[in-house]
Amino acid sequence: MLVGKQSFCDFHSIQAAVDVLEKSSSMEPATLHILSGVYEETVRIYRSHLHLIGIGHVEIKMNRYAKEFDESGEEIGTFATPTLFLGGSHLVLDNLVIANVAGQGENIGQAVAVYAHCDQTVFRNCTFKGHQDTLFTGPLPPVPKERPSFGGIPLRDHRPHYRQYYRNCRIEGTVDFIFGGATALFEHCEIRSLLHSGNRESYITAASTPYGQEYGYVFKNCYLTAEPGVSSVFLGRPWREYAKTAFVDCKMGAHIHPLGWDNWGDPANEDSVCYQEFGVFDAAALRLQRVPWGDCFEAGEGEADFRKDNIFSGSDFWKRGDRDSE
């Protein structure tokens, strides 16, 4: 199936193509080829066994934001804002740019580009653009902290695992711009911090790893960069108390705060989180700067634990079409 603006295309919007696929009773794997262009639409995909391939520069963008009001005058909240929602499994996304262009500020709040409520999903050569809460990797925590419900896009399926592999991707944002509870491996990705309004402190991750889950976020051979003027960026803070985040053989710019990690205003989190850095040059010196409840290891210490077949034990979904995989 072909999506594009040209007359010979099967569909002129991505959602129109998805709707037809989801009405079909066939669960055979399907592929959408998307021709270059800017698609201003929100896309919801519940289907599994789907491959989306961007040809040329394909950008999907929308501008919904948490402080926006619904028809009853209530704020729509974070989880009603995604440009792209994925609710299935066995998905592959290649060469797509997904953006939430709502911007940032007190009147905007959170604005999600991708809501990845999906399992066994591969993202390759994709770009995720936003500010606060750019990429959400499901599942949601059991209960919200401040609202009676999370609201937002209805969830049709709940899965025992949420495993996601991001390779050669670029993810940008300001505050908690990679957040959620998935087991997610980011490999050879650029993680780019943008200037937070007022040049306030920023946070890359806000994991909500479920209790007992072996892996949370793993960044392996990634590059942590920032636009000019950005400083005081923390590697992460816990959205929930059992957050797990590891940086393995990553290169980090000077914008990373010496303390590394933040406890989100709750010292009790320091006893339950698992925050780690591996492959650190002169780990002993870095430990003197980092918070005492974060771990730093020299090259060769524990890095073998972060092989894909360990992280994604029981599944080899990450091998699909990836000839460079280990």
What residues are annotated to the active site? Answer: 176
Residue 161 to residue 118: CA distance in whole angstroms: 9
Strands 233-236 and 202-207: parallel
Distance CA 111, CA 290 (A): 30
The residues pairing with 31 across neighbouring beta strands, listed in sequence order, are: 51
DSSP lists the bridge partners of residue 40 as 61
Q: Where are the alpha helices (DSSP H) in 43-199?
A: none
For residue 118, give the nearest of 77, 61, 161, 65 by alpha carbon: 161
Contact 115, 84 (CB under 8 A): yes
Contacts of 275 (CB under 8 A, 6+ apart): 235, 236, 243, 244, 245, 246, 260, 261, 291, 293, 294, 295
Q: Which two tokens stand for residue 279?
A: 């492959």
Q: Quick one: which of 296, 211, 290 has its CA closest to 246?
A: 296
How far apart CA 92 and CA 29 sit, in angstroms, is 11
Half-sphere exposure for 220 (CA within 13 Å, toward CB)? 20
